[in-house]
């Protein structure tokens, strides 16, 4: 499975990763090689197999609707790179 450079750029965009030209080419090769290895999964007939979406638990346990403690502002914002007016500050979002 050989990925094209355009495909790799598209994936990098979907994943919001800024990659250099060298990185793009390196990943292109490495991902292609990994996907080649992964292709052996096609050998198996899985038509009647249920995907293993939940490893062991058969159902979710539900939580009673009781509000708990919210994080105090200093804990919530304490790791933030930039804040203003008790909110996370980011570059302008215009859409």
Partner 1 sequence: MGDFTNLTLIEARDALRQGDFSSRQLTQAYLDRITAIDKGIKAYLTVLSDEVLQAADEADRRLQAGEELPLLGVPLAIKDLLTIEGVRTTCASRILENFDPAYTATAVQRLLDAGAIVLGKTNMDEFAMGSSTENSAYQTTHNPWDVERVPGGTSGGSAAAVAARLAPAALGTDTGGSVRQPASFCGVTGLKPTYGRISRYGLIAFGSSLDSVGPIGHTAEDVALLFSLMAGHDPRDATSMDKTVPDMQLTETNSIKGLRVGVPKEYFIKGIQPEVESAVRAAIAELEAQGAEIVEVSLPHTQYAVPVYYIIAPAEASANLARFDGVRYGLRVESDDYIDMFKQTRGQGFGPEVKRRIMLGTYALSAGYYDAYYGQAQKVRRLIQDDFIQAFEQVDVIATPVAPTTAFRIGEHSDDPLEMYLQDIFTLPGSLAGVPGLAFPVGFDENNLPIGMQLIGPHFGEAKLFEAAHVYQQATDWHQQQPQLNISK
Partner 2 sequence: MTKYQPVIGLEIHAVLETRSKMFDDAPVVDSTHGAPNIAVSPVSAGMPGVLPVINQRAVEYALRVALALDCEIALTSIFERKSYFYPDLPKGYQISQYQHPLARNGELTIHTSQGEQVVRIRRVHIEEDTGKLTHVEEDGENYSLVDLNRAGVPLLEIVTEPDLHSVEAVRAYAYGLRAVLRYLGVNSGNLEKGLLRIEPNISLRPKGSEEMGTRTEIKNLNSFRTLERALSYEIERQTEVLNSGGDIRQQTLGWNEAEQVTVPQRSKEEAEDYRYFPEPDLPPLVLEQSWVDEIRAGLPELPYTKQQRFVQQYQLKQGRAALLVEDQAVAEFFEAAMGAAQDIEARLVANWITGDLFSHMNDSGEDIEDLKLKPANLGTLVQLVSSGEINQPTAKGVLAEMLGSGRSPAEIIEEHGLGQISDTGQIEAMVSEVLAANPDELAEYHAGKEQLAQWFFGQVMRTAQGQANPQLLRMELERQLSESKQ
Site residues for partner 1 per CB under 8 A: 3, 7-8, 11-19, 23, 27, 30-31, 33-35, 37-42, 44, 46, 49-57, 60-61, 63, 71, 75-76, 78-82, 88, 90-93
62, 66, 72, 75: CA torsion to nearest 10: -10
Q: Which is nearer to partner 2, 17 or 39 (CB)?
A: 17
**For residues 73 and 80, is the Cβ–Cβ distance under 8 A?**
no
The residues that touch partner 2, with contacts defined as CB under 8 A, are 14, 16, 53-54, 57-71, 73, 76-77, 84-95
73 is in the binding site of which of partner 2, partner 1, none (Cβ under 5 to 8 A by kind)? partner 2
How far is Cα 94 from Cα 90, in angstroms, rounded to an integer? Answer: 12
């Amino acid at each position: 499975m050989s990925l094209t450079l355009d495909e790799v750029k598209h994936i990098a965009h979907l994943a919001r990763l800024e990659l250099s030209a060298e990185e793009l080419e390196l990943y292109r090769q490495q991902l292609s090689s990994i996907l080649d290895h992964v292709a052996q999964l096609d050998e198996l007939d899985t038509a009647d197999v249920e995907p293993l979406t939940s490893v062991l638990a058969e159902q979710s346990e539900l939580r009673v609707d009781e509000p708990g403690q919210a994080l105090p502002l200093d804990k919530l914002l304490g790791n933030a790179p930039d804040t203003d007016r008790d909110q996370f500050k980011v570059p302008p979002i215009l859409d």
